[in-house]
């Protein structure tokens, strides 16, 4: 959990973002969030993937609003939505859209909210640099991670299952050591959906309750840095995280290309923007209607959807900024939410 308040110096992270701002030719200090005399507190929780973006925005915000306490934590998208729909936090960071059961929980509690798309990510499947594998298709991902892979202890032990579901197989004869997000994570849910695991599980005759699950015999961690570090532990390491965390590891990890049916594609800013990377996804924040009525939250959201947030904070955190038309849509949604909060029906 990070708490930002009375920030005299915003540190190296904000300094790096300032360099991005200079390169982009924008003025982050005047692009929102600088309403004079603001006080109060803002509580942000949810996705560990989005947490670095919200933390950067909080640092920007406190540079101009030192008397507002902003707390940012990253227990996971699902855990965040539990708090959000219970009215315990103002903003939920989310690495996937809100789900039906979460919508129902918010409705039951009388929580209204606005969804704001803030950036793009490419889920990155990683291994140890010594692994000779270079590309994985959906069948391979199913054979390594899917519900039928439980009990497979070596990479080449997944070859038979891979051949059954259209994978390429040919994996190395080395131990399979998986460290990846757990069920509380929006990254877990997004990976299952984007990798096609439910469709393959259904085709394989797997019981419906297991269509949207991964194998249960792996090391689950809510900490992306722990997952990245695990890739260095053995030649057979395997996991997945958001694009920014994999990129920050550099040559310490091997990023696998993914074949979604049109050839092997590596994760990059370009392939995430054009959608050619099969594991691309959107990142979001959700803001409650009650919170949006408070001036400090409105100022924080204004900053978040300005160039300082959608370009500098997103890019500085290692993720991919939205195309211009989608930035405009986010800003319009924020303006509409502020208008509704100011004039409740």
DSSP-derived secondary structure for 55-76: HHHHHHHHHH-TTEEEEE--S-
> Measured in Å, how far apart are the chain's first and last C-alpha atoms?
36
- 268-294 as b/e: b if 16+ CB within 10 A: bbebbbeeebbbbbbbbbbbbebbbeb
Structural domain ending residue among the three candidates 241, 260, 278:
278
Whether 278 and 194 have beta carbons less than 8 Å apart is answered as yes
By residue range, what is the domain housing residue 273?
Answer: 124-278
pLDDT at 4: 54
Structural domain ending residue among the three candidates 227, 247, 278:
278
Burial environment of residue 11 by CB neighbours within 10 A (0 to 12, 13 to 18, 19 or more)? exposed
Does one domain contain both 110 and 146? no
pLDDT at 187: 93
Beta-bridge partners for 87: none
Does one domain contain both 289 and 273? no
Does one domain contain both 177 and 208? yes
Does one domain contain both 175 and 318? no
Does one domain contain both 130 and 234? yes
Structural domain ending residue among the three candidates 235, 250, 278:
278
pLDDT at 30: 35
pLDDT at 271: 97
pLDDT tens track, the chain, 345 positions: 666 543 322 233 333 333 333 333 334 333 455 566 899 999 999 999 999 999 999 999 999 999 999 999 999 999 999 999 999 999 999 999 999 999 999 999 999 999 999 999 999 999 999 999 999 999 999 999 999 999 999 999 999 999 999 999 999 999 999 999 999 899 999 999 999 999 999 999 999 999 999 999 999 998 999 999 999 989 999 999 999 999 999 999 999 999 999 999 999 999 999 999 999 999 999 999 999 999 999 999 999 999 999 999 999 999 999 999 999 999 999 999 999 887 654
The pair of structure tokens assigned to 36 is 């004079």
Does one domain contain both 269 and 135? yes
Considering only CA atoms, give the Rg of the chain: 21
Q: Is the Cα torsion angle 169, 143, 167, 272 positive or negative in sign? A: negative
pTM, 2 dp? 0.84
Domain count, the chain: 2
């Amino acid at each position: 959990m990070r708490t930002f308040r009375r920030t005299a110096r915003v540190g190296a992270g904000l300094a790096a973002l300032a360099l991005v701002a200079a390169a982009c030719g924008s003025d982050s200090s005047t692009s929102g969030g600088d309403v004079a005399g603001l006080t109060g507190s803002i509580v942000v929780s949810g996705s560990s993937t989005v947490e670095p973006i919200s933390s950067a925005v909080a640092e920007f915000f406190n540079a101009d609003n030192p008397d507002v306490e902003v707390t940012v934590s990253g227990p996971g998208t699902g855990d965040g939505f539990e708090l959000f729909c219970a009215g315990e936090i103002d903003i939920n960071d989310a690495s996937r859209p809100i789900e039906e059961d979460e919508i129902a929980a918010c409705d039951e509690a009388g929580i209204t909210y606005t969804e704001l798309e803030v950036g793009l990510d490419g889920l990155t499947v990683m291994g140890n640099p010594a692994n000779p594998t270079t590309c994985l298709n959906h069948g391979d991902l199913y054979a390594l991670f899917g519900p039928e892979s439980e009990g497979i202890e070596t990479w080449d032990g997944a070859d038979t299952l891979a051949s059954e579901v259209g994978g390429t197989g040919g994996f190395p004869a080395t131990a399979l050591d998986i460290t990846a997000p757990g069920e509380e994570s929006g990254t877990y849910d997004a990976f299952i959906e984007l990798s096609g695991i439910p469709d393959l599980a259904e085709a394989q005759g797997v019981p419906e309750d297991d269509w949207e699950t991964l194998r249960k015999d792996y090391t689950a961690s809510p900490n992306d840095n722990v997952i990245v570090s695990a890739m260095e532990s053995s030649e057979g390491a395997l996991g997945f995280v958001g694009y920014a965390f994999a990129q920050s590891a550099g040559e310490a990890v091997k990023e696998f290309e993914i074949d979604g049916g049109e050839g092997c594609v590596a994760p990059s800013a370009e392939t995430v923007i054009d959608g050619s990377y099969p594991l691309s996804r959107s990142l979001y924040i959700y803001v409650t209607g009650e919170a949006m009525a408070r001036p400090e939250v409105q100022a924080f959201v204004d900053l978040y959807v300005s160039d300082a947030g959608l370009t500098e904070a997103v890019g500085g955190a290692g993720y991919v900024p939205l195309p211009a038309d989608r930035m405009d849509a986010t800003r319009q949604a924020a303006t509409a939410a502020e208008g509704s909060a100011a004039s409740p029906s």
